[in-house]
Amino acid sequence: MKTDELKYVVGEAQEAKPVYMRFYGRINEESTRQFNDEFLWVQDYVKPSKIVISINSEGGSVLYGMGTFSIIQQCPIEVETIIEGMAASMASVLWAAGTRSYMRDYSILMIHNPFVREENASPDSEQIVKAFQKQIETVYHKRFGLTKEKIREIMDGKEGCDGTYFDARSAVSAGILPADHVLKTSKQVCTKVKNQIEGVVEAGALQKIMASINAELEDFKPLDVSDSIPNQNQINNSNSKETMDKEQEFAFGSVCAQLGLEKDSEVSTVITRIDALKNAEKKAREIQASYDSLKIQKEGVDAQLTNVQNELTTVKEELQNYKDAEEAQHKADIEQFVENAISEGKISPDAKSKWVEMAANNFEMVQETLNSIPKRDKISTEIANDPANVENAKNQITEAEKKMAKAVEAVVGPDFKFGTLD
């Protein structure tokens, strides 16, 4: 790369020393392409100790800006980003890409939702905007450590506003910026900035005012290049008691705000709140430890209960198998007993089903009844066919049936209900 054509690198770029770059103006395809080329050249060929990027931009393209954001994020060298004048819209995302991010005490930070200009609108514009919005929310959430709900509130802004504007003090109060990452300048510079931007609301116009003031100052580089930027505060500001008191007041107010107290709270009140938070944190750890212990015990009980349930299921299955086998054997015994009674001539084959049903209800009673009935002897065919014996056989059978009927009736009753044997 021709070093005399560098647009964004400021001053000399030397190995093992800080290199300073500026991103001023709108974020678009041309500006990001050249900035990215110079940044990668510094990163890969110069190999400085760190890269410091001074930002004064009204924002611009999310698409091209995210490309630059990714390059800065992936840089193996530490990158410090400073809002020299203004970081609005997509420029605030570039500012958030640094390893450490800083603001001048007169600088402006503006965060809002992405949008598509009407002339560039397409059927997919709404989906594109939502995707960019989710992407930017994630960047702010991870960089600032704020909740996603708080990030959305900042991006939406108050009713009737496009997003939210911050100066250094309000950025600290909102939790976006640590108090020691505010770079101090003279009171005259702050007053000049305040006077010139009063009543100006358009981001482009604000950026131009800031660019003009920065051009006059030309002091964005840290004077002590061996350490990080906060050391500049110690050099640029007098160590007068008044200045130190103001800084302490500002820092104390920031602490109060983060603790949910008024900025003019008593020191004792702040200490009490801190002690309460410490005790609450200790109590929370104890509760968490107790919860973890109970959780482990519950898991053990659940495992035991599962084992018992499995064993119970096995026992139930075995018991059912035994009952099924016992019932099958009982039916077989009844069937065999009734068959024996038929073969012994005690009952007619036609009455089998009724005797089987009675035996199923009261097997002992049926056994006693059928056992009390005498067996019938079988006679030969010749005797059975003898006309002289036929009538006698009929009479004898009739008498036997009458006896059997009386025996059965004595047990089951005349209407076939079960009774008891004497």
Is the Cβ–Cβ distance between 292 and 282 less than 8 Å? no
Instruction: Locate 302 and state its tokens.
Output: 């659940």
- Residues annotated as catalytic (active site), given as ranges: 89, 112
Instruction: Locate 297 and state its tokens.
Output: 């015990």
Q: Within 13 Å of residue 12, how many CA atoms lie on the same side as its CB?
A: 4
Residue with tokens 């075995």: 318
Alpha-carbon distances of 11 from 132, 225, 351, rounded to whole Å = 35, 13, 121
- Strand 9-10 with 182-183, pairing: unpaired
Identify the sign of the CA torsion 335, 337, 342, 343: positive
DSSP labels, 176-225? SS-GGGEEP--HHHHHHHHHHHTT---HHHHHHHHHHHHHHH---S-S-T
Q: In terms of residues, how long is the chain?
A: 422
For 374-405, what is the HEC assignment?
Answer: CCCCCCCHHHHHCHHHHHHHHHHHHHHHHHHH
Cβ–Cβ contacts within 10 Å for residue 17, how many? Answer: 14
> Phi and psi of 339, rounded to 5°?
-60, -40
Is the Cβ–Cβ distance between 232 and 224 less than 8 Å? yes
CA–CA gap between residue 352 and residue 364 (Å, rounded): 17
Residue 60 DSSP one-character state: B
CA–CA gap between residue 182 and residue 413 (Å, rounded): 111
Position 325: which residue type?
A: A
